[in-house]
Chain A
Amino acid sequence: MATFNFELVSPERVLFSGQVDAVVLPAADGDVTVLSGHAPLMATLKTGFLVITDKPGNGKRVLVRGGFADIGQNSLTVLAQRALPAEELTQEILDKEILQAEMAYDATNDLAAKHAAESAIAQLREAKAALNY
């Protein structure tokens, strides 16, 4: 399978850099799967899991909270506002993230922002529930 270059960068560090088969992005208007040769696209991200497939049948999950994806010619750069690999996730971290999202929800009166915060809370709750299994 054709591969392409993928980079996942958060403000604090580079989380992933290398050749991958496919990446699923939680784009603002719905999930997008990026394969090699994707048309140039720039998308904003919402809160959700980003799935990196670097070998067939091997998916890595990273929780991202907001950010940008820049799909260029055979390369994908994701600038995540916050990014946490699934294996580093714990109950406390998620609780903190949920609290932050709830604070963001309460702090704004803008309908679109409220909606975004609401979906972020739902995603985080889901992630927390999934963690218990």
Chain B
Amino acid sequence: MPSLKDLRNRIASVKATQKITKAMQMVAAAKLRRAQTAAEAARPYAERMSAVLGNLASGITVGPDTPRLLAGTGSDKVQLLVVCTAERGLCGAFNSSIARLARDHANRLLAEGKTVKIICVGKKGYDILRRQFAEQIIEFVDLRAARQIGFEHGDMIAQKVLALFEQGAFDVATLFYSRFQSVISQIPTAQQIVPAQIESAGAASQAVYEYEPDEGEILTTLLPRNLTVQVFRALLENAASEQGARMSAMDSATRNAGEMIKKQTMTYNRSRQAMITKELIEIISGAEAL
């Protein structure tokens, strides 16, 4: 039986924890709003971009001159995994679910005898994947210094991927991130970015286009841009998902702390009363004995 003082201390410490989780939840809620608007504002650009690319790609036939970013290298031996996670923890299963998806994917590829290379964006994913794939991780991108995800961050990562592709360091690249669906639901997603996945436009948009400068040149500038936009979008979706996950995790932590406080207070009051009763009995029986 813990003493009254012990119980008091325990209640105080749970209360302090509850205050912290409550504050974290409110901070996450405020950040979520900002991240969500950023993610939503970036959506039109990405959508138009894939529409334009679809228009363009439906007009050309894949041949030896087609940029390799679109047609691929013709092999899938070396696979690059770009795993985007958060820089901080305490956000429920957010980081581990992305990492799990990436790990399963990597294990499957390794079982098929393919070479796997991993680029980690975000410290948490790096920490998780490092244990198993220490040799496969070729790079770790740290975005801790960035307060707000900007286009330049997406660009930086995309440039790294492009440079590797130019060197012929991989054949297929897949991007792992968490798609933001709602505050309580974030879906870990794998998206192939190299070679580019193009949803072909409907037959209605089969207008004869003029190109300025020429088709090939536009395609060669558009494809790397598309890669940047996809990475940028993934980063924004991830940022919104992270805050959403943190918010719901902290909300349930606050609720659990509340429950714990209630239970502990009950025990505390009970043992206090028991003590008072015991003392009274002692006094009364002492008086009776006289």
Contacts and interface: CB of A to CB of B under 8 A. Distances in A.
Interface of A: 7, 9-14, 27-29, 32, 39-44, 68, 70, 72-73, 77, 79, 81
Contacts of B208: 40
Range, interface on chain B: 20 to 34
Contacts of B12: none
**Chain B interface, >50% SS class:** helix
Contacts of A77: 48, 51-52
A42 B56 contact: yes
Return the 7 tightest CB-CB contacts between A and B, nearest first: A43-B212, A40-B207, A13-B41, A11-B151, A41-B210, A40-B209, A9-B45
B41 A14 contact: yes
Contact of A11 (B45, B52, B207): B45
A9 B52 CA distance: 13
A79 B42 CA distance: 12
Contacts of A39: 210
B232 A11 contact: yes
A112 to B, nearest CB: 10
Contact of A68 (B41, B154, B222): B222
**Chain A interface, >50% SS class:** strand
A28 B232 CA distance: 25
Contacts of B209: 40-42
Contacts of B213: 28-29, 44
Contact of A70 (B38, B45, B55, B154): B55
Interface in B40-88: 41-42, 44-45, 48-49, 51-52, 55-56
Contacts, number: 72
B212 A81 contact: no
A79 B212 contact: no
Contacts of A10: 45
Contacts of A11: 42, 45, 151, 154, 229, 232
Contacts of A70: 48, 52, 55
Contacts of B218: 42-44, 68
6 contacts: A9-B48, A11-B42, A14-B45, A42-B209, A44-B218, A79-B48
A40 B45 contact: no
A95 to B, nearest CB: 17
B44 A9 contact: yes
B10 interface: no
B212 A68 contact: no
Contacts of B41: 12-14
A72 B210 CA distance: 10
B58 to A, nearest CB: 13
B225 A29 contact: no
Contacts of A68: 52, 218, 222, 225
A42 B44 contact: no
B3 interface: no
